Structure formats: structure tokens, C-alpha cells
């Protein structure tokens, strides 16, 4: 992954209204005194101000969420591999219940992989990232964030 600003990121202070943004102050997300993100915060509406605070907190948590997701992916992949190993019969068959559980692991791993790739990360696996729209391997550089099935199919073609 190309390096992002290292964490921790903190939901920072609110600036004075910015004439360039036209209308409101900005909530700053900061890391070690450096600004990582600006979140518009329109104080004339309590709901929108609360939403801006929540957005800033979510952005602030991004490095921690990313690290947790990478660790969870490793754990889930290891658990899946153990399940496949212990549930595969002598002829290579897996019963219907275990096959369903393995498919659930695969779906979860595909969601995690797509999120890691979307965040600019690289997977530490030889497995292909599966697109959640069309269930085909995503091409190199694809982030899997297409708006709909038609766009997905066009981009993957």
C-alpha cells in the first residue's frame, strides 16, 4: 500500500468560516499536527453539524479500522483453511453444511478484500479478489466500487 499519513488521526478543532467553501466552518482531522482531512460543518443545522462530527470521527478512525480489518482478514482466512482441512472427507468431498459455512467465509473474505483494495491496500494472498457485483475476479487495479452491475460488467469486460 502506498503510505497514508500514519495514525493516530484525531478529530480536531473547528475552523472559522471559510470564504472559499461558502458558508461554514470546517472540522479538521489531524495527525501529529498535520491536517489529514477537512469536513464541512454547517452550524445552521444541528443534524448536519452532528453528521459532520460523526463523519470526522469515522475518518479519524480510518487507520485503526484498516489495521483491524487486515488482522481480521488473516484470522478469518486461517480459520477457513482449518475448516476446509478438518471437514474435507477422504475423497475430497465436503458435506452441504460445511460447504455452506465455507461459502460464507469466502463471501466475507471477498468483502474484506474489496474494502482493503478500495482503501489502496494490497492483499497478502495469491487468491484473486472477487467482485461483489459480478462475482468474477477483479482486474489488476480495480477497486470494486462500481455503481451498478452494468458498470461493473463494462469495466471487467
Separation of first and last alpha carbons in the chain: 26
Residue 143 lies in a domain: no
Do the domain assignments include residue 33? yes
What would the pLDDT profile of 108-140 be if each residue is shown by its tens digit? 999 999 888 888 877 765 555 555 555 566 555
Residue 138 inside a domain? The answer is: no
Angle of helix 46-87 versus helix 96-118 axis, rounded to 10:
140
At residue 2, the pLDDT reads 47
Cα–Cα distances (Å) from 51 to 8, 25, 39, 41, 130, in that order, read 21, 14, 10, 8, 32
The DSSP bridge partners found for residue 30 are 10, 35
Asked if the structure places residue 23 within a domain, the reply is yes
Question: Considering the entire predicted model, what is its pTM?
Answer: 0.67
Split into its structural domains, the chain has a count of 1
For residue 109, tell me if it sits in a domain. yes
Residue 156 lies in a domain: no
Tell me if 54 is assigned to some domain: yes
Burial class (CB in 10 A: 0-12, 13-18, 19+), 51: middle
User: What is the domain range of residue 119?
Assistant: 10-125
In a domain, 51, yes or no: yes
- What tens digit of pLDDT does each residue of 142-156 get? 545 444 555 555 655
Q: What percent of the chain has pLDDT over 70?
A: 66
* Residue 39, C-beta contacts closer than 8 angstroms, at least 6 positions apart: 26, 27, 28, 29, 52, 55, 56, 59
Q: What is the mean pLDDT of residues 88-108?
A: 88
| pLDDT value at residue 73 | 94
Amino acid at each position: 500500500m502506498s503510505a497514508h499519513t500514519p495514525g493516530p488521526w484525531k478529530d480536531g478543532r473547528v475552523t472559522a468560516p471559510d470564504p472559499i467553501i461558502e458558508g461554514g466552518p470546517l472540522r479538521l482531522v489531524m495527525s501529529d499536527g498535520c491536517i489529514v482531512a477537512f469536513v464541512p460543518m454547517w452550524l445552521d443545522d444541528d443534524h448536519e453539524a452532528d453528521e459532520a462530527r460523526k463523519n470526522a470521527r469515522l475518518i479519524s478512525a480510518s487507520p485503526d479500522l484498516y489495521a483491524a480489518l487486515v488482522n481480521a482478514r488473516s484470522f478469518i482466512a486461517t480459520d477457513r483453511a482449518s475448516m476446509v482441512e478438518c471437514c474435507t472427507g477422504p475423497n475430497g468431498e465436503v458435506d452441504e453444511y460445511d460447504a455452506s459455512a465455507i461459502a460464507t467465509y469466502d463471501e466475507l473474505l471477498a468483502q474484506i478484500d474489496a474494502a482493503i483494495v478500495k482503501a489502496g491496500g494490497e492483499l497478502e494472498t495469491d487468491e484473486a479478489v472477487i467482485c461483489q457485483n459480478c462475482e468474477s475476479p477483479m482486474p489488476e487495479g480495480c477497486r470494486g466500487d462500481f455503481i451498478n452491475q452494468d458498470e461493473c460488467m463494462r469495466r471487467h469486460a
